Amino acid sequence: MNINSMENSPYAVEKFKDLKQYIEINDFKIGGEYNLNKKKEFEYGGVNGTTLENLNLPPVQTSYITLGNKKFDKNGEVNNAILICPYYSGDSTNMLDFWGEEGDRTDFSGGVYIGSGKVFDTDKYFIIIADALGLWGASRPGDSHPGKDYGRQLGIDFPHYSMFDCVQLMYRMLKDELGVNHLKLVTGVSLGGSLTYAWSVLHPEFMDAILPIGGTIYQDKGMVRWLFDLMTQAIKSDEIYRSTKGIYYDRPRLKQPILGNMFGWSILKQSAFVDELRVKQSIDEYMLEGFDWEESAKVVETQGILPGWGHKLYDLSVQTDANDMIYRNSCQTSFNIEHELSRIKAKTLIIHVETDQWIQFHIAKQAHTSIKHSELKSFSHDFGHYAVFLVPGMFEKEIRDLLE
């Protein structure tokens, strides 16, 4: 893939690219207001939001992968659909790379969880792995229509979107494209877990059960707010971002804010694993996900050929757009549904990592206390937040019971 177009790819893992489907939703409003008591007002996005058509573009785009086949009840309605929401830096192809039968990262996650006879059984269930607004295959600041020749890099002119916008665009995709009017389960890890919570308050009747894994019910305060605000400021501290005021798309890819991206990713990566694991690293291991303005610049100048500070972050930093991440962070840090949890009607199983350094365990306990008839399971792991990918293997029985 050409380095100047890597960040505009509609997928993250090439081996699964042919599985991904794309859809445009007409007249969908981004950045509007959601009154949860007036559902009819936000069927196509929030009140006073902006459509991409208003910006002289085709309708907003989203994308997804499906596995397994639909089954129908006596009324002709799909009754076996499971929705898996994406995580912060991933998409549907990434989820398959961690949990799918041909994934390259199933060793990290401890096994295969999506497939015939697996926890998310494609013989029994119609599995939908969705991309959220702002992620790889969906409309975002860095590319209004990834994979399409009419996509534009709106950057800071892209409307700011919310977690509810992400959910509502998936909702329209399910109903308008896939003919799914009810879900057996909504789940996801990390951001996907937070989206699972958002789904259950926005559409309480739409699913039988929810399984938020490592998600949060708020991100507008506390450690998790500070962390992503810090990441945003790291990106914005890039000299190129500052000098261009975030309007840098006329520059070659390596002359865009790659160093700021590396700084931001370093903050996240270094804080994901527990400190007890990090302090065992040698300085050579540390530097690969560490950051230094001068030394990391050498990694970018050599296009990642020579090892150095931030070397393991280089590919990710080139593949992701600075404004995309800033918008994604803003979307998360404006999120708070802690006072709406009484709306949840779905059977709820919350699974959280007690040693999560980002989304602290007390948030999961608060969610459990506030959601009637919910169950909370937890465990500790040196992987910290990243241990969310291990959950289907560690809690297979509980998840199967939830689905039954």
Instruction: Give the end-to-end CA distance of the chain in Å, rounded to a whole number.
Output: 43
Cα–chain center distance at 141: 15
pLDDT for the residue 119: 98
Question: Which residues are within 8 A (CB) of 350 and not within 5 positions of it... i.e. 6 or more apart?
Answer: 211, 212, 364, 367, 368, 371, 374, 375, 376, 377
User: Contacts for 201-205 with beta carbons within 8 Å, 24 or more apart?
Assistant: 201/36, 201/337, 201/340, 201/341, 201/343, 201/344, 202/34, 202/36, 202/164, 202/167, 202/168, 202/171, 203/167, 203/171, 204/343, 204/344, 204/345, 204/346, 205/345
Dihedral-angle region of residue 332 (phi above 0 means left; psi in -120 to 50 means alpha; beta otherwise): alpha
Place of tokens 């930093």: 317
* Nearest alpha-carbon partner for 254 in 293, 311, 301: 301
The DSSP secondary structure of 22-88, one letter per residue, reads: EEEETT-BBS-B--TT-GGGGTTB-BT-B-SGGGTSPPEEEEEEEES---B-TTS-B--EEEEE--T
Structure tokens at 71: 């089954």
Burial class (CB in 10 A: 0-12, 13-18, 19+), 29: buried
| Residue 370 near residue 364 (C-beta atoms within 8 A) | no
pTM beyond 0.85: the answer is yes
**177 DSSP 8-state letter:** I
H-helix or E-strand spanning residue 374: strand 374-379
Q: b/e string for 69-100 if b means 16 or more Cβ within 10 A?
A: eeeeeeeeebbbbbbbbbbbbbbbbbbbbbbb
| Residue 292 near residue 266 (C-beta atoms within 8 A) | no
CA distance linking residue 67 with residue 123, whole number of Å: 9
H runs (alpha helix) in 203-257: 222-236, 239-244
pLDDT for the residue 5: 45
Look at the domain 6-219+335-403 and name its fold.
Answer: Rossmann fold (3.40.50)
CA distance linking residue 25 with residue 77, whole number of Å: 22
CA distance linking residue 16 with residue 30, whole number of Å: 29
Looking at the chain, the domain(s) classified CATH 3.40.50.1820 span 6-219+335-403
pLDDT for the residue 7: 57
Burial class (CB in 10 A: 0-12, 13-18, 19+), 250: exposed
Angle CA 389–346–29, to nearest 5: 80
CA distance linking residue 82 with residue 9, whole number of Å: 26
pLDDT for the residue 274: 94
Q: Are strands 114-115 and 120-121 parallel, antiparallel or unpaired?
A: parallel
CA distance linking residue 22 with residue 147, whole number of Å: 9
Q: Is the dihedral of CA 294, 302, 151, 128 positive or negative?
A: negative
Q: What is the pLDDT of residues 345-402, one digit of tens each?
A: 999 999 999 999 999 999 999 999 999 999 999 999 999 999 999 999 999 999 999 9
pLDDT tens, N- to C-terminus, the chain (404 residues): 345 444 567 888 999 999 999 999 999 999 999 999 999 999 999 999 999 999 999 999 999 999 999 999 999 999 999 999 999 999 999 999 999 999 999 999 999 999 999 999 999 999 999 999 999 999 999 999 999 999 999 999 999 999 999 999 999 999 999 999 999 999 999 999 999 999 999 999 999 999 999 999 999 999 999 999 999 999 999 999 999 999 999 999 999 999 999 999 999 999 999 999 999 999 999 999 999 999 999 999 999 998 899 999 999 999 999 999 999 999 999 999 999 999 999 999 999 999 999 999 999 999 999 999 999 999 999 999 999 999 999 999 999 999 98
* Nearest alpha-carbon partner for 114 in 4, 21, 19, 7: 19
* Nearest alpha-carbon partner for 332 in 230, 263, 247, 237: 230
C-alpha pair distances (Å), 297 with each of 244, 290, 329, 344, 368: 19, 12, 24, 48, 45
| Residue 371 near residue 344 (C-beta atoms within 8 A) | yes
Q: Indicate the residue type of 223.
A: M
